[in-house]
Amino acid sequence: MGRLLEVKGLRTQFFTQDGVVHAVNGISYTLDERETLGLVGESGCGKSVSVMSLLRLIPQPPGKIVGGEAWFDGRDLLSISEDEIRQVRGNRIAMVFQDPMTSLNPVLTIGSQIGEALQLHLGMSRDQARKRSIELLEMVGIPMAADRIDDYPHQFSGGMRQRVMIAMGLSCNPQLLIADEPTTALDVTIQAQIVDLVKRLKEEVGMAIIWITHDLGIVAGLANRVAVMYAGFIIEMADVKDLYGDPRHPYTLGLLRSIPRLDMDHKAKLTPIEGMPPDLLTGPVSCPFAPRCQYVIEKCTKENPLLEPVARNHYVACWVDVKKKG
């Protein structure tokens, strides 16, 4: 499989009245064709901003991409023209957002909203787009799709609206689907259905996926590789089995210990991560996790570690070997 996306040193900042918010601080990663990358971290760590930057959807001002490259199909997404990025958006790279109700237009029918991308990017006629829209709704498991295509978003449940958003995302056969916490607002059974749907469609359509979430449980059965973000940095990146079986960053350990597991003793308590997320208004100097870390040493408070390999395809940004500490 070939390389599809290569992000190098991406930095995004927001210039506000209170100061400069360092939202994304020089992250780098690659994505192969048909691969699924899980981007994990708590709210405010820069997950969504990092992928919105790739599609140049950051509101400018106050936001600004201040550094980096994002190579996709031989072009740097951060330096191509507005017209060129519009051709990529929704066509080659599609995005599904967290809340479908704010992403769908409440006064347009579902059919017209899916059809718009088909007519714009693929040059279909209105009738062709309508027929394809019905096929896409059937593909994502909406019953009686031909009858529902003229309905409005408010006539669908939350789970069905998210299916519509996935249908819109897949409408132009993208090479990359970015899913930004698409199951957060749904109950657990519907979450599982959406995850299974995306896994099935990935095989059928043959696309790569970046799945953004704060839930490590979802990523386990979905991703090939996982990148853990904290305070705008990638602090650990590994194949999914290695990340769960051999986590090397104290933050990753903390995330895993705070998730209920079926193999845990029912009397065992979940361990919270003490402290508060960092203030992104102060520029990164030391390790951003140091104030909350149980393994902290003096060097952590003076210098921010780089993401370095610790095993095959396993990278960690930490001054302490937590494996030796037990």
* Structure confidence by residue, pLDDT tens digits, 216-238: 888 888 899 999 999 999 999 99
pLDDT score at 303: 93
* Integer-rounded Cα radius of gyration of the chain: 21
For the segment 49-74, the average pLDDT, to the nearest whole number, is 92
Per-residue tokens: 221: 């059965």
Q: Please say if the pLDDT value at position 267 is more than 70.
A: no
Note whether 200 and 275 are within 8 A (CB).
no
pLDDT band at 34 (very low <50, low <70, confident <90, very high): very high
pLDDT score at 228: 96
Note whether 250 and 265 are within 8 A (CB).
no
Percent of the chain with pLDDT over 70: 96
pLDDT score at 166: 87
pTM: 0.91
pLDDT score at 266: 63
- Going by C-alpha positions, the residue among 235, 322, 240, 243 that lies closest to residue 284 is 235
Residue type, 294: Q
pLDDT band at 263 (very low <50, low <70, confident <90, very high): low
Taking residue 186's Cβ as centre, other Cβ atoms within 10 Å add up to 18
pLDDT score at 32: 94
**59 Cβ neighbours under 8 A, 6+ residues apart:** none
CA dihedral 136, 117, 195, 253 (to 10 degrees): 170
Q: 254 in helix, strand or coil? A: helix
Residue 249 phi/psi, 5-degree rounding, is -105, 140
- β-sheet bridge partners, residue 6: 30, 71
pLDDT band at 264 (very low <50, low <70, confident <90, very high): low
Q: Please say if the pLDDT value at position 50 is more than 90.
A: yes
Residue found by looking up tokens 């897949």 in the block: 170
Residue type, 37: L
Residue type, 183: T
Per-residue tokens: 181: 């916490």
Task: Please report which residue ranges of 75-157 form alpha helices under DSSP H.
Answer: 82-88, 100-103, 110-122, 126-139, 145-148
For the segment 148-163, the average pLDDT, to the nearest whole number, is 91
Q: Please say if the pLDDT value at position 77 is more than 90.
A: yes
